[in-house]
Chain A
């Protein structure tokens, strides 16, 4: 076995590149590719956040001309909604945790010199980048970006005459997502193969850090989900341009027949959500793995229930494919199927709850250090609970009657899939920055950033639950046309003000990131006194990760506070300790 593994690793070793282009642009090094993904996500998150800022301004001051956009047409708001959601989901929440940190640290944490397929890895990044450029291009074509929402429900998305932006802009939107899917599929293959084939000697599956488990299962979800979305997108493109009718029945738009007949609008929803729900876990699983990791590191205590955590990740991944119909309780799908989807959805709450219990069990009896990565990990747990607790409301069809497509839904998914995942990205940045750049980030700026983000995001998204209960529908650009919505405007104003403050807080992060890259305090190789393999190597790691030798693993990933050990942590490469009880 070990001979086989080292043979596999030797086959994948490649010499360090010399020129700038091969080293930093068309790099085969998973670490450089990880950074490329990370900075792509960083650009995307600021674009996405800027769009949300414009949305918040337009919602409460509908007549104010917006920066860069000028006078607001009714469709502009929906364009912002669509592009904000799409950019955030694909190019931030899928890109940074998996493509960014997964790429950089998965091979190092399992003791591999690189990904299994370095060329494929490079291609997957460049494919993703092209996807992003095509997406942004949709803003600049005639008619502008599409207005059909990130879910792109047909026939709105399938027929060009249904609205402005549904022309070339919508085509580019679909093409961009299709390109993204291809990149994500290549990445998923690479992650799975690497995890299965490239582990160092002694790195058994049950010694893998929970981050690796999370990236591994996320890759499997990606492999199964993105293929479906890719196919669905191609069919949509054909409906729009080649006269097919996969998703479009006989309809008239503004009294005019469209020439389509016989298609099913619900087919798109089934295909989309078959991807769309696993996508939620693609966004959050890496953050869950990371939170597990950090709570253990900074509590100086082994993770509580490692095996239960692994089974919970697998359980979430498995059940994640059986719950998509909970997005469709009000869609006209057979009401009997709602029973099954509802039970499965409530069921997926169980492994999520297990994880929460185990996180609390991990800090229980610990010796907590409040470094910035830990603050964001604690914030993650809090947000995960708050965002998760509204799930059982939406998972029950009878309550979904009232709450579906109201602000309750964005309140729910922003807290859990958006902000909790982003807290995972922040925690990962503060935690691994020293390894990636050889310098520490500024701790006081990091703390300010944490308080702005933690309090700010609660102030934005908690009130959305109130709005939803009061019956405020999503994706309304103005609240002036419905009598009872007028009463809710003050609460919307509060949310906008909270968004201003929270977004201002993100500039602190940006400053800290770039300032620390060049001016931060020099980092030692293992600043957090952590046990996993990335902390055994140089800072930043050399091209082949471990400088010519291959680590041999003797211990599990979370050996902190081991009685009788010379220091309060035992590295995975240290001599084997007595089996834990």
Chain B
């Protein structure tokens, strides 16, 4: 029985580890400025925890086999423990866990403590059951007022957001069902939700943040690779959660200016 346990525990350990190391399923390729740092720290954590995982499982399998009952009662070692060992592994795990944490803190700080750069592109992202809308402030650089009483979800676009057309600042606001952003510019995202909590998740950008009704949450990310990326809702928001899907199109600065100018022109 000891040998079977050893074999099964080791086999489970090696098969599980193989698929991690072979990267059969792995993080999607990163496409934002933050991705490299996050992925690097993921790999560091993965290697350290992987070593602990394999070492502990291999030891467990070995010990249950090695110390199986072989019918010799004299063989058992009578010990209540070892204080030095306890102190050693307590200190080592503390250093490992807290150290790991501290090395990642600077990435978190640069992602979340610092406000967006002054020249960033502003996009207001609004989640509602079960769609994402994207609003650009237009040439005046100001988002116009919205009014919940004006909302008409079924109409989509500006009406879905309840854009107050009496506010002069709202006249040039551009509302889109697709998020279009320029590459290599910082994007300031202002996250809102109308009804319940949603979560704005772009896996390739290593970006996720809940959109909370009643709050306007300011975040930022910098796409570094052009292309189309899928936006998902990551917080359970109701029966259509699985299809609350959007697209972010990362384009060259020229294409972005052209796209925005065309949308602004439609408004005049």
B64-A162 in contact (CB<8A):
no
- A175 nearest CB across to chain B (Å): 21
Q: Is A22 an interface residue (CB 8 A)?
A: no
Given known A-B contacts A257-B148, A466-B19, A162 and B80 have beta carbons under 8 A apart: no
Q: Is A541 an interface residue (CB 8 A)?
A: no
Q: Is B16 an interface residue (CB 8 A)?
A: yes
A361-B85 in contact (CB<8A):
yes
B97-A458 in contact (CB<8A):
no
Interface flags for B127-150 (1: CB within 8 Å of A; 0: not) read 001000000000000000000110
Q: Is A396 an interface residue (CB 8 A)?
A: yes
**A170 neighbours in B (Cβ, 8 Å):** none
Interface set, chain A 436-467, CB cutoff 8 A to B: 451, 454-455, 458, 462, 465-467
A148-B28 in contact (CB<8A):
no
**A470 neighbours in B (Cβ, 8 Å):** 25-28
A156-B101 in contact (CB<8A):
no
Interface set, chain A 360-413, CB cutoff 8 A to B: 360-361, 363-370, 375, 378, 381-382, 385-386, 389-390, 392-393, 395-399, 401-402, 404-406
Count of interface residues, chain B, beta-carbon cutoff 8 Å: 99
**B222 neighbours in A (Cβ, 8 Å):** none
Interface set, chain B 84-121, CB cutoff 8 A to A: 85-86, 89-90, 93-94, 97-98, 100-101, 104-105, 107-108, 111-113
A252-B194 in contact (CB<8A):
yes
Q: Is A36 an interface residue (CB 8 A)?
A: no
**B60 neighbours in A (Cβ, 8 Å):** 360, 378, 381-382, 385
A560-B101 in contact (CB<8A):
no
A399-B104 in contact (CB<8A):
yes
Which one of B16, B79, B90 lies within 8 Å of A462 (CB-CB)?
A: B16
User: Which of B57, B153, B160, B239 has most A Cβ within 10 Å?
Assistant: B239
Q: Is B242 an interface residue (CB 8 A)?
A: yes
B25-A488 in contact (CB<8A):
yes
**A248 neighbours in B (Cβ, 8 Å):** 213
- B20 nearest CB across to chain A (Å): 8
Q: Is B207 an interface residue (CB 8 A)?
A: yes
Can you list 18 A-B contacts (CB < 8 A)?
A248-B213, A250-B148, A251-B195, A255-B151, A305-B81, A338-B108, A367-B76, A396-B41, A396-B45, A402-B27, A402-B203, A402-B208, A462-B16, A466-B20, A471-B232, A475-B242, A484-B230, A561-B73
Give chain B's interface residues, CB within 8 Å of chain A: 1-2, 5, 8-9, 12, 16, 19-20, 24-28, 38, 41-42, 45-46, 49, 52-53, 56-57, 59-60, 63-64, 67-70, 72-73, 75-82, 85-86, 89-90, 93-94, 97-98, 100-101, 104-105, 107-108, 111-113, 129, 148-149, 151-154, 160, 162, 194-197, 199, 201, 203, 206-210, 212-215, 217, 230, 232-243, 245
Give chain A's interface residues, CB within 8 Å of chain B: 73-75, 78, 147-149, 153, 155-156, 159, 162-164, 248-255, 257, 263-266, 299-308, 330-332, 335-336, 338-339, 342-343, 346-347, 349-350, 353-354, 356-358, 360-361, 363-370, 375, 378, 381-382, 385-386, 389-390, 392-393, 395-399, 401-402, 404-406, 451, 454-455, 458, 462, 465-467, 469-471, 473-479, 481-484, 488, 491, 560-563, 568, 580-581
